[in-house]
Structure 1
Amino acid sequence: MESNGATNTITIKGILSLLMQSIEEEDKSPKRVISLGMGDPSAYSCFRTTPVAQQAVSDALLSHDFHGYAPTVGLPQARRAIAEYLSRDLPYKLSQDDVFITSGCTQAIDVALAMLARPGANILLPRPGFPIYELCAKFRQLEVRYVDLLPDSGWEIDLDAVEALSDQNTVALVVINPGNPCGNVYGYQHLKKVAEMAKKLGILVIADEVYGHLAFGNTPFVPMGVFGSVVPVLTLGSLSKRWIVPGWRLGWFVTTDPLGSFKDPKIIERFKKYFDILGGPATFIQAAVPTILEQTDELFFKKTLNTLKNSSVICYERIKEIPCIDCAHRPEGSMAMMVKLNLELLEDISDDIDFCFKLAREESVIILPGTAVGLKNWLRITFAADQSSLEEAFNRIKCFYLRHSDQTHNILEF
């Protein structure tokens, strides 16, 4: 699991595939597989995209106007619509020239790191975090330096660590908000401090907001671009999570930078040339973007948030019934949460990876070992699932705990 090079970096999809394979190799469990490992809400019937989005894509496809290539930076109408959508929450207006269409947020991540890469450069990544950043950084020869998030402070960024780890070769700090994998939502004041620290250090901020607006706790979602006048911000996002269409692969890379740090003609030309070698999303998907962004009813978003909140509460409460796992912070957003694993209460489990593979083989429940997101002996649980599946999954996890619990500890407790 150690990451000594790009080819050795573990991916979430890779380890989930291995977990599923381990279930299939057992081939003797009558239990249906319940996966709480992948952040794909469309896998459960309680999460469906809005009819507006489906109709917009259908209309664009059937119009016969969007079967050809789109401009490499994206259709103008899609770029303009995304600029207007993001501007709703900013103290300034974006233009279509600030927006570049990508094939999902993953491609936006790769673009950001490719644009920043130079010999000897390093980048600050959150830990736990999204492993694609490390993978992309390794391919770009960017040194990775990890900033630990603080579980006892709502997974806030350790700003002292940011300052200590940064040097003249640091190019950017990555901020994921709402948080994946932690389920946290950063407040205005914390983000302001992050922006001020980045300005002090002379680095820019990459704001991963793929879960933008998926905040259902007491802390409202604040886009990092609000602080674009303090520090240059590259905002990355997509339709995937908020509209429940991850397979559509429609993302964006946006320069939320009102002071114009990215407006240098040479920088713009470099962006455009890099996009010339990329393949963006299907043209008809891009063509549907203006309708999707402008006509989706707020009730659709409220329903999604309500479902996520209820699901997160089920997980948070059921975890309390299982002594070997503990949730340090009640989820307030996104679709996942981090859970601490207490190995002292288990007599034949060596670490988080062992826990997840044995759980998969014995109970057909898939959750992600924390090692995959940078935090050993923790677990990432995705709560974007229907309530009955969550209840059944935690029933099985509880049985698994009882089967593997340290009986000596149980006797002492009794």
Structure 2
Amino acid sequence: MKPNFQTASRVRDVRYEIRGALARRARELEQQGNDILQLNIGNPGAFGLRTPETMRRAVVRNLKYSEAYGPQTGIFPAREAVAMQFQGRGMTETTYDQVIVGNGVSELVDLVLRSLLEPGDEVLVPAPDYPLWTAAVVLNGGKAVHYRCQAEQDFIPDVEQIRARITDRTRALVVINPNNPTGAVYPESVLQALADLAAEHDLILFSDEIYDAICFDDARFVPMAPLAENTLCVSFGGLSKVYRACGWRVGWAVFTGQLERAQDYRLAVEKLSALRLSANVPGQWAVQTALGGYQSIADLVARGGRLYESRQAVIDAVERSRFLELVTPMGAMYAFPSVRADHFPDFDDHRFAAELLEQKHILIVPGSSFNIPERNHFRITLLPEAEDLERAFEKINDLLEELADEPERVQQRP
């Protein structure tokens, strides 16, 4: 028998378990007739959170202008709308030509890293991270150097720890705020310290702000760009989360700060943008409508709103459990609970997630999938209705009660 076809080693080194083996098993169970509560992905449309009607109408009205390729950097109305948003955030000199539109933030992350990295170059990435960042660094020949954001510090970065990881091969610093998977929202003082650190070591600052308007209680989103004028800052946003339009695949990257030193780099990103011809054109017509006027996300995250009440249901469920702990998520659309070590000292998050799927038909993401060594966390999305999350945590707690009598079922293998 002939050997299997070759698989690139760099792909084997990539982790993206949010849609990995557990998700494949969930599909198999669904095909067998089981109902699976999928808490693994922040996908608003899958939970009935519709794209605002004004955005839908904007796309429909402009379909006749959407059949040809668009400019590789995006259509003017979309880029101008993003630039005006940044002007409103204090970056009054921002113009449309500092904006590149892509097929979601995911594509843009790949483009900016591919335009930057030589083999062996290092990028500082938070841990836990959204694993796309680590994967994109690896796929583009770089080395992801993780800086820890510890639960004991509410998942806020330690700037001095990051400083200690900088070498002469470090090229960039990634910040994810509000944070996926932890829900942390970084205070301005920390963001300023990160911006100063990047400027001190001449690092490009990549600021992933896709959840910028999803903050709870008194948490406040602070954009990175106004704090990072002494280096190059690339800020990422899009329609997927705040505007509940994941399937439209519209994201943007905004270049601010020391632009005069970044001309060649920006042209490299534009060249790669041209290679894929253009981003999805129909969805771009919704950007101007989305960013202007009434912001419906405010109702969802305010007390009594859908996301607020779902988050509260998770907080209350964890408080009732003798097995679980939680750093209260202050932003984004996830919670990152942990299983108490005093009950399960050798807990294995992957084995638990597999048990939960098979026994209770609930799909979660093991915490170690987000590039941390601890095996006692898991991530769930806050998008379902509060009562669905209450029932989910009842089942999670029921399983933990069962496992307390048979801990070897979820212990780490030697």
**TM-score for the superposition, normalised by structure 1:** 0.89
Structure 1 residues 243-258: aligned runs within 5 Å: 243-257=243-257
Aligned residue number for residue 185 of structure 2:
185
Mapped partners of 2:119, 2:396: distance in 1: 47
Q: Report the more deviating stretch, 202-211 or 304-313.
A: 304-313
Report the alpha carbon displacement of residue 66 of structure 1 after superposing the two structures with TM: 2.1
CA 19–326 in structure 1, closer or farther in 2 if over 3 Å, else same: farther
Q: Report the more deviating stretch, 11-20 or 307-316.
A: 11-20
Report the alpha carbon displacement of residue 364 of structure 1 after superposing the two structures with TM: 0.6
Aligned residue number for residue 278 of structure 1:
276
Mapped partners of 1:108, 1:256: distance in 2: 16
Structure 1 residues 47-196: aligned runs within 5 Å: 47-61=49-63, 64-196=64-196
Report the alpha carbon displacement of residue 111 of structure 1 after superposing the two structures with TM: 1.3
State the one-letter code of the partner of 2:321. I
Alignment equivalent of 1:372, drawn from 369, 377, 380: 369
8 A Cα contact 1:344 1:406, kept in partner: no
Mapped partners of 2:180, 2:15: distance in 1: 16
Aligned residue number for residue 412 of structure 1:
none
Mapped partners of 2:277, 2:328: distance in 1: 39
State the one-letter code of the partner of 1:357. A
Structure 1 residues 7-22: aligned runs within 5 Å: 7-11=12-16, 12-21=18-27
Mapped partners of 1:83, 1:317: distance in 2: 40
1:34 matches 2:37: yes
8 A Cα contact 1:106 1:132, kept in partner: yes
Alignment equivalent of 1:355, drawn from 352, 355, 373: 352
CA 379–180 in structure 1, closer or farther in 2 if over 3 Å, else same: same
Report the alpha carbon displacement of residue 28 of structure 1 after superposing the two structures with TM: 7.7
8 A Cα contact 1:38 1:382, kept in partner: yes
State the one-letter code of the partner of 1:355. F
CA 65–149 in structure 1, closer or farther in 2 if over 3 Å, else same: same
8 A Cα contact 2:207 2:224, kept in partner: yes
1:305 matches 2:301: yes
Aligned residue number for residue 411 of structure 1:
none
Stretches of structure 1 lacking an aligned partner (at least 5 in a row): 409-414
State the one-letter code of the partner of 2:338. K
Corresponding residue SS for 2:259: coil
Deviations 1:98-141 (A, max 9, x none): 00010001011101211220233110100000111121111111
The RMSD of aligned alpha carbons is 2.1
Deviations 1:33-87 (A, max 9, x none): 2111111122112x222111111111111xx222111011111221111111232
Q: Structure 1 vs Structure 2: percent identity of aligned residues?
A: 24
CA 271–112 in structure 1, closer or farther in 2 if over 3 Å, else same: closer
Mapped partners of 2:194, 2:397: distance in 1: 39
Aligned residue number for residue 287 of structure 1:
285
Report the alpha carbon displacement of residue 407 of structure 1 after superposing the two structures with TM: 7.6
